[in-house]
């Protein structure tokens, strides 16, 4: 039987074995997992059973008492009924807590699924009631940045594809932890490339629209080795194609790289294993840019660069400057490449 606190995989496993809890609360910031589980609940009943035994309700449009009344009904010509309550995050906590009366004493032939998509619920009374009745509470959390590469690699493998490290990093850089978009793009690649194919940078550029030469990953690599020609070639592309790389995202990645370099400098252990653990890297090749950067920037330069990035961020938002953000970004790149490290020691 499903547990009071569960994971995405454990819930799917229980559902595949037709082991159901009477009440499920799916809440949290990451909408992908909630949507995927709702799709699984939608498969519990056969098509001929759904007409009289499956209901999709929207929390802002229905009172808790009406939900409870519906859940107390007996299924018609089926073993159970499924009631899915969506948009529960859009109602006041007090209203949501009123569902505790039913959740604490649910009907065994009803599966009630409460969805708080995009928000962690504050309905403590409801959570307590679900737990007491051996229901399931699942919090769908956003992936941390360091978890994204493994998630992408795992999904690519599940789709019967392979991918080189640069491909994984391109997807991480440009899509981030938006799981819905990541899965959609990988599904698209799987359909285009076919089983057993390799997801190459060229395939990503051709089918997703991410340039294998002009992207944030390549920009950070160029900054790491102080390849000025490549840096200015990439930012010229960004300026001509602003939708390809929003500067707010580019700046965040550049800032993170130099901030990580500073952390690495003051790490008590700068060995490969220690740095990989520090930055939660999965492959030694990912250390390359850190080693390149540490060889070319000293700590005083890094402090100056980090300050310059913060100054750019403020000016790009109109604080103390009215210049075009791409002009400001060009100046920032020049500052980074030539930073003398003029700070007080």
The confidence band for 234, taking pLDDT boundaries of 50, 70 and 90, is very high
How do residues 251-277 score in pLDDT, each as one tens digit? 988 999 999 999 999 999 988 889 888
State yes or no: pLDDT of 338 exceeds 80. Answer: yes
pLDDT at 1: 39
Contact present, 145 and 177 (Cβ < 8 Å): yes
At residue 98, φ and ψ (nearest 5 deg) are -65, -20
Poorest-pLDDT segment among 73-77, 79-83, 97-101, 340-344? 340-344
State yes or no: pLDDT of 13 exceeds 80. Answer: yes
Q: Which CATH class is domain 145-207?
A: mainly alpha
Contact present, 100 and 63 (Cβ < 8 Å): no
pLDDT at 344: 52
How do residues 179-229 score in pLDDT, each as one tens digit? 888 888 899 999 999 989 999 988 888 888 777 778 888 899 999 999 999
What spatial distance separates the first Cα and last Cα of the chain, rounded to whole Å? 63
Residues of the chain with CATH 3.40.50.300: 8-139
Mean pLDDT of the chain: 89
Contacts of 228 (CB under 8 A, 6+ apart): 337
Half-sphere CA count of 327, side-chain side, radius 13 A = 5
Q: Residue 248's Cα: distance from chain center in Å?
A: 17
How do residues 71-84 score in pLDDT, each as one tens digit? 999 999 999 999 99
State yes or no: pLDDT of 4 exceeds 50. Answer: no
Give percent above pLDDT 90 in the chain. 61
Parallel, antiparallel or unpaired: strands 136-139 and 23-28: parallel
Q: Residue 173's Cα: distance from chain center in Å?
A: 12
Integer CA distances (angstroms), 172 to 217, 241, 337, in order: 9, 20, 25
How do residues 134-182 score in pLDDT, each as one tens digit? 999 999 998 877 788 888 888 999 899 999 888 887 887 777 777 888 8
State yes or no: pLDDT of 248 exceeds 60. Answer: yes
E-strand ranges in the chain read: 23-28, 54-58, 81-86, 110-117, 136-139, 162-163, 198-199
Task: State how far the Cα of 27 lies from the Cα of 126, in Å rounded to an integer.
Answer: 12
pLDDT at 296: 94
Contacts of 338 (CB under 8 A, 6+ apart): none
Contact present, 103 and 133 (Cβ < 8 Å): yes
Closest CA to 176 of 206, 200, 145: 145
Residues of the chain with CATH 1.20.272.10: 216-338
Query: To 5 degrees, how large is the angle CA 21–CA 27–CA 33?
Result: 85
pLDDT at 345: 46
Pick the CATH number of 8-139 from 3.40.50.300, 3.30.450.40, 3.90.950.10, 3.30.470.20: 3.40.50.300
Poorest-pLDDT segment among 65-74, 116-125, 139-148? 139-148
Pick the CATH number of 216-338 from 1.10.3660.10, 1.20.272.10, 1.20.1250.20, 1.10.3720.10: 1.20.272.10
Task: State how far the Cα of 111 lies from the Cα of 88, in Å rounded to an integer.
Answer: 16
Tell whether pTM > 0.75. Answer: no
For 231-236, what is the mean pLDDT?
Answer: 92
Integer CA distances (angstroms), 223 to 227, 257, 335, in order: 6, 10, 11
Residues of the chain with CATH 1.10.8.60: 145-207
Give percent above pLDDT 70 in the chain. 97
Check residues 41 and 119 and name the one with the higher pLDDT.
Answer: 41
């Amino acid at each position: 039987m499903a547990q009071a606190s569960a994971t995405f995989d454990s819930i799917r496993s229980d559902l595949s074995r037709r082991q159901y809890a009477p009440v499920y609360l799916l809440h949290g910031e990451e909408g992908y997992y909630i949507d995927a589980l709702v799709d699984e609940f939608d498969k519990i009943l056969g098509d001929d059973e759904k007409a009289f035994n499956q209901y999709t309700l929207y929390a802002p449009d229905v009172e808790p008492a009406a939900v409870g009344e519906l859940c107390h009904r007996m299924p018609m010509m089926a073993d159970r009924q499924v009631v899915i309550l969506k948009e529960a995050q859009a109602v006041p906590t007090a209203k949501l807590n009123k569902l505790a009366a039913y959740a604490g004493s649910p009907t065994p032939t009803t599966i009630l699924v409460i969805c708080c998509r995009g928000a962690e619920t504050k309905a403590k009374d409801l959570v307590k009631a679900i737990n007491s009745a051996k229901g399931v509470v699942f919090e769908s959390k956003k992936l941390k940045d360091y978890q994204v590469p493994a998630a992408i690699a795992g999904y690519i493998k599940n789709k019967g594809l392979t991918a080189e490290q640069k491909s994984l990093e391109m997807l991480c850089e440009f899509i981030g932890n938006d799981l819905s978009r990541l899965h959609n793009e990988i599904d698209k690649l799987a359909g285009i490339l076919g089983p057993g194919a390799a997801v190459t940078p060229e395939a990503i550029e051709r089918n997703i629209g991410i340039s294998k030469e002009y992207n944030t990953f390549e920009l950070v690599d160029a900054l790491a080795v102080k390849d000025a020609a490549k840096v200015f070639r990439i930012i010229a592309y960004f300026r001509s194609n602003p939708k390809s790389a929003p500067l707010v995202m580019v700046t965040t990645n550049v800032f993170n790289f130099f901030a990580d370099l500073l952390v690495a400098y003051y790490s008590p252990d700068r060995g490969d294993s220690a740095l990989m653990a520090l930055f939660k890297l999965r492959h030694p090749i990912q250390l390359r840019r850190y080693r390149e950067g540490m060889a070319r920037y000293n700590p005083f330069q890094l402090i100056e660069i980090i300050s310059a990035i913060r100054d750019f961020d403020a000016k790009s938002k109109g604080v103390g400057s009215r210049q075009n953000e791409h002009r400001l970004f060009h100046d920032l790149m020049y500052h980074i490449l030539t930073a003398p490290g003029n700070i007080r020691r």
